[in-house]
Structure 1
Amino acid sequence: MDNPEFDIAITGAGPVGSALALLLARHAPDPGRIALIGKHFQDDTEAGGLPVPDNSPDPRSLAMNHGSRMLLEQLNAWPNKAASIETVHVSQRGRLGRTLIRHDEMGVPRLGSVVAYPDLVAVLHEALAASGVTLIEAPYVRTLAARQAHLNAAGRDIVSALAVQADGHQPDGLQREYNQHAVLATVRASQPMARWAYERFTDQGPLALLPHPQGGDLYGVVWCCAPDHAEALRRLDDAAFSAALTATFGDRLGALSSLGLRHIFPLSLHAGPLLVNACTIAIGNAAQTLHPVAGQGLNLGLRDAVQLSQALAPWLCRPRQDPRPVLEDFARRRRHDRWLTAGVTDFLPRVFSTRNLLVEHASGASLLALDLLPALRKPLARHLLQGLRT
């Protein structure tokens, strides 16, 4: 049997994989025996695959809930620029009913924050450089064997006692295609509402406007709609796109003016098994990819990382022991939070886009009930804030 070079090898150096490496480094007797394998460590400007022109607001905005921000602050990995969300306004286009979720009602300083993707990755990698974790830059990784975590990272053979997949996804598990694409854009509002975020449901999918970390009058747009409509929106000039967005969103923020590039990507649900084999576990995007409604994907992945680091802390002191019982227990403990979050983010975009008048009116009535009855609203808001704790 090969002698492991590392105790744990993590593939995927995005926010979830990087946060896990930082968490494990705090528990490990020798952080150097934790390997983080990723595509970019030196130049993080291209880490998300979407280059952004100079002086243009970055459209890759991430909504981080209160629990995620607390975690990253504890890891000294919170970006300098962030836009706070204190109120979330939820509505349905063309139907009555809306609800407001406020931070003071939940007893927190803010419901969440919005950061730019490259800023978050850069500060995580800066913290990793000082953590003692071994950083391995490789454009691709292949699994060669399952008896140990035997990997090939761009030609380099790596043997680890345990592997964590934090990037890509598995072919097995639940999959659903939404027949929706998301349009990412940045806009300027003529009448901005400080620290307000908006989720507006349309018959083609949800439309979110999030306060942008690069300016008080800027908003990050995530517009989910049919693929052909998304492509048409991407090709519009700024004036035509601004007019279409204002017509769909309404005049709550005044006139909306498009800035910079727009990008589109397809939306789907994938939720596979956490336990890949006896010595490999999947977390984050490798375990589940969710619809972006309510911005729960990254927050769920960070909860994966926290609980996995807690589960592996005792094992790191005895890495020669069989890791499978630890990994099986972790997978069991994560089941309820994963499936509840996936269920909520799967249900919302589908029920609001049925184009069935009865269902649409019932959905509007549900929003009104949430607004009038805190006993209904608070459990949902609490889950979106911090997930289901076990």
Structure 2
Amino acid sequence: MSLLLKVENLDFKYQDTDVLKGINLEVNAGDFVGILGPNGCGKTTLLNNINQWLKPHRGSIYLKNINIRKLKPKILAKHIATVPQDTSIEMSFTVEQVVLMGRNPYLVNFEAEKERDFAIAEESMKYMDIWHLKEKPVRELSGGEKQRVLIARALAQEPELLLLDEPTSHLDINYQWELLGFLKKLCLNRGITIIAVMHDINLASMFCDKIILLKDHKIFKMGPLIDVINEKNIKEVFNMDVHVCFQEYTGRPVIVFLGRKENINIPRPFNTLHVICGGGEGEKLLHYLKKRGYEVSVGVLNKGDTDWLTAKMLGFDVIEEVPFSPISDEKIEENTKYVKKSEAVLLADVPFGYGNLKNLVCLKNILHQKKIFVMEERAIESRDYTNGMASQIYRDIRDRAVVLHSFDELKSFL
């Protein structure tokens, strides 16, 4: 296989905080590479350095031996396409209009799409099985359908390299497998190289050929799936005891999580807690709080969200919104009542878009009334998809909160 991407001695910082340190990696054409690691280790930041959305402080990135800093954005967009984690599309574009946006690198300013552009957009929609939705407004689609639209838009760029940031987040398990199946076929049938940040180790194991395992902002281990996914590496990186077995027909590793022992006998500082989370960022926190015996309420979460499922399973009170919809004023009012009843509030390390921004506003409105704990494993700038609105509100909250930079630090307080 020919070398497509090479990263040499890459460092990146947010202000004075190291996010990536000494990153060296090589990816061959046609690889399906999964990036795994704890929250805040730099997974998304690595993608955004590769696509030049962020500029590294040191180091070089080469695409087919060409330093990508020498490529103009429109030229780079013909080679690298990105599907970000945030799938919100606020305006009333149709599916076809969104997919046609992928043809922008091939058009000069104000140039109309040509017959070839429409043909490529059609091919991309048919490949992702959304051709029948072409005239439907994107805001009326389900989360799984929206994700396929964004991938179709990326395919319309005709890229050699496709970058995806947690493409299966907020999707039910059947949609997760379906979507990853589409991506796997892109590698096998079209030779498109894929690098995807993954949240679920077992999903990565089922579909990826190679794994990049990040820890402490560095590459801990990188290589073929079978060399990276093992009990020792998972324990070292995620601090979790696991058992690794192998599928009979594929030989791919399957992780069985055994958990870890927690000191749950120390006195609790509070009895009641309200947790603001979402997208799986609160899953570990909620399990821990259950073990500690806290009375927990959670919200506002969309039905079907990973944290919604966890909270319901654990028997917590959940303020729930309909799937894939922005938080309504009615639900925020209900959420506020739970916040006021609690003795303290815990804000997880959540990405914020316009859909869940009201959770932050709700928290800001009770700043002087409650003890607030903020989990900050990643800089807010790296998870703000609201053009800075979330960052501004978050900083006001942060200034009056107890800031916790890791799960171990949280356990020393709660």
Same fold (TM over 0.5): no
